[in-house]
A and B are shown apart, each in its own frame.
Chain A
Amino acid sequence: MGRKLLLDKVGIVGIRSYDVYRENGGYSSVEKVLKTMSPDDVTNEVKKSGLRGRGGAGFPTGMKWGFLAKPEGVPRYLVCNADESEPGTFKDRYLMEHIPHLLIEGLIVSSYAVGSNRTYIYIRGEFGWIVDILEQAIAEAKNNGWLGKNILGSGFDCEIYVHPGAGAYICGEETALLESLEGKRGNPRIKPPFPAVKGLYGCPTVVNNVETLSTVVPIINMGGDEYAKYGTGKSTGTKLISACGNINKPGVYEIEMNISVEEFIYNDEYCGGIANGKRLKACVPGGSSVPVLPANLLLKTAKGETRMMTYESLSDGGFLTGSMLGSGGFIVYDEDQCIVRNTYSFSRFYRHESCGQCSPCREGTFWMEKILWNLEHGKGKMKDIDLLWSVQGNIEGNTICPLGDAAAWPVAAAIRHFRDEFEWHVTHPEEAQRRNYGLAGYAEPLKAGV
């Protein structure tokens, strides 16, 4: 069994409630920081832990906190990103549903570190029942003296509020999130200024993911150095992976970042292998925005090394032969799945979610969806594949926020690795319409159980 730091207590009956959570050592990190540590000490422990943001970009959390501007007399804000809308990703939801007090505890400690007296959880509006769970946990924490004025006599005041969004993937992007929290459309802001200088209401703000902020709890409890002993190299600690697609055991797994991709897919402790005795065809290992990898490049890198579930190993080879750990949304495709159809669905998603501010993204996502619809429905031509390639290439790097890149990358990777499947759709329009792809033209998949 891999070691767990976040979900280790999830099996305990009643752990969602304050009393049980507290009996099992909950809120001890708040006691520790408020009684024995300065805010800078907390930031230092997080720096030592090597924790990297779990929202997708993997930016070092301690460093981010260190960048926060601290002008006199100006409030600072901590905002927890619980927007979780990247296709394939459902890990934050799991954490909030099963052990909500862990997030609240992490938020109090992190608020203390960055000096936030008003902390917001921005949660996607569709998670209505989780809003209730969080509000109950916040009320319990407050009734027990962990929130409010002068917490534990430390002089530190903190309130946490839950703010629901209303259906917009783009609001997961941190500056769009702040716009939305201010009651506006979720249009990303031009950076700089970065939120660390000008964020919510123009004040210095830190935005971190649910899992990132929850991980601060074990880091404080065990110490940053000890935490850094978990995992491999610069991928310290554990990571929540939400696994879905054609596997036997879809679900959320906490892994220590020292196992191989193969072990994660085939071991019964995790995904339990490909469902229905099928073969592994491909995988999107880090949420819809990251490049898809065919089975052969997924389990081994281009250099022939074992591919590991770490930031470094999953991105080994760059975008030519690698991918990214991203948000940990792990989508597995068996031999019956159609890459063209999947890519079309992702492009529809990004067209739908583009805020429309920049033309490369607005127009590019529109055209990618249109071309992919044609290909997928057997109405495409060979030159459409090249056109698609050129459209995606014109989006990347030319937009205000990374959604443009996120829309382009999956298309680029699909063409790069599965070009013959796109061509097959052009040469076999009837079969394509019946969605009868069989094993038509893609990199020879590895057999189940290898």
Chain B
Amino acid sequence: MIKFSEEKLKQVEKIIARYPEGKQKSALLPVLHLAQQEFGGWLSPETMDYVASLLGLLTIEVYEVATFYSMYNLKPVGKYVFEVCQTGPCITRGSDDIIKYIGERLGIKPGETTPDGLFTLKTAECLGACGYAPMMQMGKGFKEHLTKEKVDEIIEECRRSAAINN
């Protein structure tokens, strides 16, 4: 059985309190974000059922939402997820080459995860950083003005910090 820590449960209560009485369904998106963070970077059926019980919703209400939004992962992902923007403005600054390069460096195609479970490569649609292209989202932040050298550094840094944390 999965369960939020006491601290996270307090956070959930605070989220619910942002909305009027009886409108706690509004807390669903933020609570799903929290659940994804806490329970392995993706939303397993078990996680979604837990969120439903926490907010007093039908499980179908949670599934409907989880499948609609692109930030919710419905299958396991690597420890580091590279989501590289591939929309027009980024193309003008060479995002095609960067996506190809990352794929070569990691030996995977967009949508795949490396066998060691460290990296997932995804393509994304415009992330609101078109002036700082090419760019990708990684966790809570953006990596912008990407070059091949910068990609190498990011990959190395991820490998280093994964080694330390293991």
Contact = CB atoms under 8 A, between A and B. Distances in A.
B130 A128 contact: no
A90 B91 contact: no
Interface stretch (A15-23, A162-170, A303-311, A314-322): A162-170
Contacts of A331: 88-89, 92, 130
B12 interface: no
A75 to B, nearest CB: 7
Contact of B29 (A118, A163, A329): A163
Nearest to B127: A126
A82 B115 CA distance: 38
A87 B68 contact: no
B29 A88 contact: no
B87 A128 contact: no
Contact of A164 (B30, B57, B70): B30
Interface string A349-389: 10011010000000000000000000000000000000000
B68 A183 contact: no
Contacts of A164: 29-30, 33
B111 interface: no
B108 to A, nearest CB: 21
What size tier do the contact residues of chain A reach?
35 or more
A85 B139 CA distance: 18
A346 interface: yes
Contacts of A118: 20
What size tier do the contact residues of chain B reach?
35 or more
B133 interface: yes
A329 B70 contact: no
Contacts of B72: 166-167
Contact of B128 (A89, A182, A245, A251): A89
A345 B86 contact: yes
Interface string A67-111: 000000001000000001111111001000000000000000000
B69 A168 contact: yes
A245 B92 contact: yes
Interface string A168-206: 110000000000111111100000000000000100000
A125 B71 contact: yes
Interface string B136-166: 0101111000000000000000000000000
A346 B87 contact: yes
A128 B141 contact: yes
B39 to A, nearest CB: 16
A345 B87 contact: yes
B140 A161 contact: no
A255 interface: no
